[in-house]
Amino acid sequence: MKATLCTHYGPPEEMVVQDVPSPSPRKDQVVISVKACGVNFPDVLMIQDKYQFKPALPFSPGGEIAGIVKEAGEGVTAFKPGDKVIVSIGSGGFAEEAVADAARCVPMPANLDFAVASSFFVTYGTSFHALKDRAHIKPGESLVVLGAAGGVGLSAVELGHTMGARVIAAASSKEKVDLAKKHGADDGFVYPTGALSRDQQKALSEDIKRLTGGNGADVLYDPVGGDYAEPALRAMNWEGRYLVIGFAAGDIPRVPLNLTLLKGCDIVGVFWGASMMRDPKTGIANLTQITNWIAEGKLKPHVSERIPLARAGEAIRLLMDRKAQGKVVVVM
C-alpha cells in the first residue's frame, strides 16, 4: 500500500510517497482502508519535531480518518469488514491503510461522504470538550473565537451557536469573518497579522468589549496565542473562562497573572487528545453526539480543499501559510 511519509523533520515538500507493507491488526484492533484523512495543525508541528507526541521516523502524518474496515482483529465484535467508520488515530492517516483501536471507532453516518466524515473528530471533538467540559458554557453567554475560520475555530463557532451562545468571530480577513458568520457567528471583526503594535493590541481588546456590550467575553476560545492572547485576556468579563487551545501564531504567550485576579476569571487548559485517553467514555459520548448532530444537519463541517495522497504535503502547506479555511482533507 502507498503512504506519504515524513522520513526526516522538515518542510512538508520533503515528505515522500512510498510503498510500505500493509498493517495487521492486533487484539481489539481493526485495519481500515483509508478513504480520506483530515489535516490538523498538529500535522504541521509533528513533521517539524515541534509537537508533544513524537511518532518514530519514518511516519505518516494524518490524525483522523474515515474509511472501510478491511480486517478485524481478535476480540473485535462491534465492527466487521465492510463497515464504514471514523476514528482519530494521532498519526498514520496519510496512507491507503491504517490500524486503529476498535473501541475508538464510531460508525460513519450513511449520509456523509468520506471527506466530510474525516474532517471533524479532532476539531469538533476539541471544541465540544472545550466549551462543554472545560468552560461549562451556558446559553446566552458570549463566546469570542480567535482564528474563527480555521479548523478548530470554525467548529467552535458552530458548536457555540448550537449550544446557545452569542458568538463573536475574530479572524485575519473579512473573507474569514464572513465564513464564520455563515457558520453561525452573530458578529465579528478583523484583526491584523504580523507582530501587533501596542495600539493594535489595544484595538483588539476594544473590539471584543464593543461587540460584547462593554462587558467582555464570557468565554474566549484561543487557538492562536502569540500577540493575540494578552489583549484578548484583557477583554474578559467577570468570571469569564479563557480557553487555551493552541499556539498557531508560533509563540507561547506569557501573560500577567494579575489580569485573572482583577477580572475574577479563569485561564482553562484544553487538551482533547489527553482527555480522550483519560476519559474515553465521555470522549466517545461527545463524538457520538457530534456525529449525530452532523448527520441531522445541525452542524455542517466545512471542507474547503480535497487534495490527493500524492500531493499531501500541499495540504499541510496550506495550514502553515494561514491559507486554510475550515478543513483541508487528503483523499485516497
Positions touching ligand NAP (CB under 6 A) are 40-42, 122, 126, 147, 149-153, 171-172, 176, 223-224, 245-250, 270-273, 319, 322, 324
C-beta of 159 vs 319, nearer to ligand NAP: 319
C-beta of 118 vs 172, nearer to ligand NAP: 172
Q: In angstroms, give the least distance from the CB of 157 to ligand NAP.
A: 12
Is the distance from CB of 285 to CB of 279 less than 8 angstroms? Answer: no
C-beta of 145 vs 236, nearer to ligand NAP: 145
Q: In angstroms, give the least distance from the CB of 45 to ligand NAP.
A: 6
User: Residue 106 forms beta bridges with which residues?
Assistant: 86
Q: In angstroms, give the least distance from the CB of 79 to ligand NAP.
A: 26
Q: Determine the Cα–Cα distance for residues 151 and 40; give it in Å rounded to an integer.
A: 7
Q: In angstroms, give the least distance from the CB of 41 to ligand NAP.
A: 3
Q: Determine the Cα–Cα distance for residues 287 and 194; give it in Å rounded to an integer.
A: 35
Residue 251's CB: how many other CB atoms inside 10 A? Answer: 12
User: Which of 59, 53, 65, 50 lies closest to 15, judged by CA?
Assistant: 59
155 alpha-carbon distance from chain centroid: 8
Q: In angstroms, give the least distance from the CB of 263 to ligand NAP.
A: 22
Helices (H), the chain: 41-46, 114-117, 121-128, 151-162, 174-182, 198-211, 229-233, 258-263, 272-278, 280-295, 312-320
C-beta of 130 vs 309, nearer to ligand NAP: 130
C-beta of 223 vs 240, nearer to ligand NAP: 223
C-beta of 211 vs 324, nearer to ligand NAP: 324
User: Which of 183, 120, 129, 116 lies closest to 154, judged by CA?
Assistant: 183
C-beta of 15 vs 318, nearer to ligand NAP: 318
C-beta of 79 vs 247, nearer to ligand NAP: 247
Q: In angstroms, give the least distance from the CB of 284 to ligand NAP.
A: 16
Q: In angstroms, give the least distance from the CB of 46 to ligand NAP.
A: 10
**What cell was used for 7?**
522520513
Q: In angstroms, give the least distance from the CB of 306 to ligand NAP.
A: 15
Cis before 58 (ω within 30): yes
User: Which of 108, 14, 125, 11 lies closest to 65, judged by CA?
Assistant: 108
Residue 73's CB: how many other CB atoms inside 10 A? Answer: 16
C-beta of 114 vs 189, nearer to ligand NAP: 189
Burial class (CB in 10 A: 0-12, 13-18, 19+), 261: exposed
Residue 48 CA neighbour count, 13 Å, CB half? 14
Q: In angstroms, give the least distance from the CB of 217 to ligand NAP.
A: 17
AA letter at 75:
G
- Triad 152, 283, 322: Cα angle to 5°: 15
